[in-house]
Amino acid sequence: MTDTNQSLLDALVPEIRRGGIVLAVLAGLKQEEYGYSLKRWLADHGVEIDEGTLYPLLRRLESQGLLASRWALEEQRPRRYYRRNAAGDALLRDLTREWKTFNKNIGGLLS
């Protein structure tokens, strides 16, 4: 692979990961997690996400009404815990269905 391809790949890979990341984060917040524990859980499932992407995404999903959150003081520092609310449950279900259908169609094109 040439250097040019590598830099293009580095530019385009985040684009192909972006939608799946939203689904993965919603899926992981079935139970309460704070940012770093969620990041670890995702990594354990093969989905790497940096904190500069994850934290703004958590705030955005909360502002869209899909997550509940609370602060807790642990190990002498505040942690913000998130979990899906009922709207998040419903959206994850619908979005998963869209994702599966869409990806099946894309997979058909690529084969």
Segment interacting with its own copies (CB under 8 A) among 31-39, 71-79, 83-91: 83-91
Angle between helices 3-28 and 86-110 (to 10 degrees): 150
Contact 67, 82 (CB under 8 A): yes
Tokens for 42?
């995702």
Helix (H), strand (E) at residue 18: helix 3-28
Q: Is 46 in the site for its own copies (CB under 8 A)?
A: yes
56 is a site residue for its own copies (CB under 8 A): no
Write out the residues near its own copies by the rule CB under 8 A.
Answer: 1-2, 4-5, 8-9, 11-13, 15-20, 22-24, 27-28, 42, 45-47, 64-66, 87, 90-91, 94-96, 98-99, 101-103, 105-106, 108-110
